[in-house]
Amino acid sequence: MKKVFLCEYIHPDAYELLKNHVDIIHSWEEFPEADAMINRNIKMTAELFAQTNKLKVIGIHGTGTDDVDLEAAFEKGIDVFSVPHVNARSVAEMNMALMLSLGRKIILSDRMLKSDLPEGFHSMLQGTEFYGKTLGLIGLGDISMKTAQICRLGFDMKVIAWSRHFDKVEAEALGLHLYSVMDRVFEEADIVMIGLNLEKSTRKLIGKAQFEKMKKDAFLINTSRGAIIDEEALYCVLKERGIGGAACDVFEEEPLKPSNPLLTLDNFIATPHLGANTNEALRNVGMAVVKGILKRLNIME
């Protein structure tokens, strides 16, 4: 029977499907025996691949493959695949949760209530109404498109965007106004949401130059990949009140250390990569990656 290495959580329904068709191994001592593995957050390096000549398939429990040394995997003949799109609805809803939390200062309110409310707290907690505002999307993947739909239908928001892959005609057919220059989105949007894959060309793509173009009361939200944003530049602009606030579900280094200076700011919200951490998304992703593994191992059609 084929062996699949799994040392991270997957949804119980997906685990049951996997267990019915293969031997599941969990310890790193058994890793060299694995025919395939399911990966969520493990850094897959050439050094790790050197431990095995049997591994043929890596299934990414999610969208991004940036945790895998793809060149090293190719050299070893390992098939690496991901399961994009199936968790997009949950991440889009996370975008909305962070947007509303920033605009209505939910987290700051909670912190104040758990201590002594300062005098004049009502003015400190004055919020923002999003109806009719402008949403700016950097990247137009499935998550961004679902976020745009919620914002248009629920908040009557204007949606502007920058994308490396869409053209203006395609975007306008979807109710979006596409700019060819990314900076235009930062200049005009009331809320900028990042929706890019992490590649060499997007690493620290968003930094001081873009933040300086944003409105003083604009918000920034990132639920894609942490390394797309220059975190030091983000800290500086938030500390100086150069923008209204920011919320990040992803960071360059995860898990985020408590010593990260961003956590000292009252206009910043941090969550520990929870965008796709819903029962529905975990089941959808888990089932998709397990079926992908079984298909590539010639166990299931």
Residue positions annotated with a catalytic role: 225, 254, 273
What is the rounded distance in angstroms from the CA atom of residue 77 to the CA atom of residue 13? 30
* C-alpha span between 186 and 215 (Å, rounded): 8
Amino acid identity at 270: A
Rg (CA), the chain: 21
Amino acid letter, residue 66: D
Tokens at residue 259, please? Answer: 């010593």
DSSP 113: H
> Amino acid letter at 167?
D
Angstrom distances, CA of residue 24 to CA of 12, 28, 34, 58 = 13, 12, 9, 14
